[in-house]
A and B are shown apart, each in its own frame.
Chain A
Amino acid sequence: EIVLTQSPGTLSLSPGERATLSCRASQSVSSSYLAWYQHKPGQAPRLLIYGASSRATGIPDRFSGSGSGTDFTLTISRLEPEDFAVYYCQQYGSSPYTFGQGTKLEIK
C-alpha cells in the first residue's frame, strides 16, 4: 500500500501568513489522484483539493494544490482565522486508499 508522509506535523503561523504543507508518497500516485482535506474538531472532514490541484466546489482560491508523482503540496496563501485545523492528504489511485497522518495548523 502507498504510505503518505505529511510534514510538518504541526505548523504554527499567524493569520495573514502563508502556509505550505507537504505530502510525500512512498510510490508514485496514479494519475495524480491526490486529495487534501480540512478537519476541524467535531466536524466532518471537508474536501479541499482533488486531482492534486483542482479546488473542490466552494473552496476559496487562497487554497491551492500542486505536485505530481510522489511529492505534493497544499498552499494557503493568506491564512484566515477559520483555516486553523488539521489537514490530511489522501491518495485514491490505488487500493487501499490511504491517508497521511495529518498536519495540525495552529495559531501562533
Chain B
Amino acid sequence: QVTLRESGPALVKPTQTLTLTCTFSGFSLSTSGMCVSWIRQPPGKALEWLALIDWDDDKYYRTSLKTRLTISKDTSKNQVVLTMTNMDPVDTGTYYCARTFGQWEPFDYWGQGTLVTVSS
C-alpha cells in the first residue's frame, strides 16, 4: 500500500525558510523511474507544481521559484525534503507531495497535504 504524508510547520514568519518533509511507504525512491514532487495550492487558487526529484537524484524546479527551492531525498528514511527560502504571505497554502512513476506520468498517489500559513 502506497502512502505519503507531509509534515512541517503550520506557521512561518515572512522571510523565514520553510522546511517540509514527505515521508512515504509502499515504494522505494531508489527504484528506476520513481519520482516524488511537491505541489501547492494557495487558498482559492489552482494547484501549482513546485519541484520533482527522481530515483537518480535529478532535480527539476518551477522556473519562477527556482532560486528559492531545494528538493532532496533520503532513500534510507523514505523521505523527500523541500526547503523554500524567503517565505512571503503569498506562499500561504496547502502543500502536497505526490508520486509519479516516470517524469512524464500522472501523479498516481498523493499525500493529504499540510497547510502552511505565512504571517508575522
Binding site for B on A (CB under 8 A): 33, 35, 37, 42-47, 50, 56, 88, 90, 92-93, 95-102
**Contact indicator B107/A47 (Cβ below 8 Å):** yes
A96 CA to B37 CA in the complex, in Å?
Answer: 12
A64 CA to B68 CA in the complex, in Å?
Answer: 39
Which chain B residues lie closer than 8 Å to A50 at the CB level?
105-106
**Contact indicator B112/A88 (Cβ below 8 Å):** no
A47-B108, A56-B106 provided; 18 other pairs, C-beta below 8 A? A35-B106, A44-B4, A44-B110, A44-B111, A45-B107, A45-B110, A46-B110, A47-B106, A47-B107, A50-B105, A88-B46, A88-B47, A90-B47, A90-B106, A90-B107, A92-B104, A96-B63, A99-B46
**Contact indicator B112/A98 (Cβ below 8 Å):** no
4-40 of chain B: CB within 8 A of chain A: 4, 37
Binding site for A on B (CB under 8 A): 4, 37, 45-49, 60, 62-63, 96, 98, 100, 104-113
Which among B96, B98, B106, B109 has the greatest number of chain A C-beta atoms within 10 A?
Answer: B106
Which chain B residues lie closer than 8 Å to A95 at the CB level?
60
Q: DSSP class of A's interface residues: helix, strand, loop or mixed?
A: loop
A56 CA to B96 CA in the complex, in Å?
Answer: 20
**Contact indicator A101/B107 (Cβ below 8 Å):** no
**Contact indicator B104/A33 (Cβ below 8 Å):** yes
A97 CA to B110 CA in the complex, in Å?
Answer: 15
Which chain B residues lie closer than 8 Å to A100 at the CB level?
46
CB within 8 Å for A99 and B48 given contacts A47-B106, A93-B104? yes
A43 and chain B: residue at smallest CB distance: B112
A96 CA to B69 CA in the complex, in Å?
Answer: 15
A95 CA to B52 CA in the complex, in Å?
Answer: 11
A100 CA to B63 CA in the complex, in Å?
Answer: 19
Q: What would be 17 A-B contacts, judged by CB atoms less than 8 Å apart?
A: A37-B107, A44-B96, A45-B110, A50-B106, A56-B108, A88-B46, A90-B47, A92-B100, A92-B105, A92-B106, A95-B60, A96-B63, A97-B49, A98-B46, A99-B49, A101-B45, A101-B46
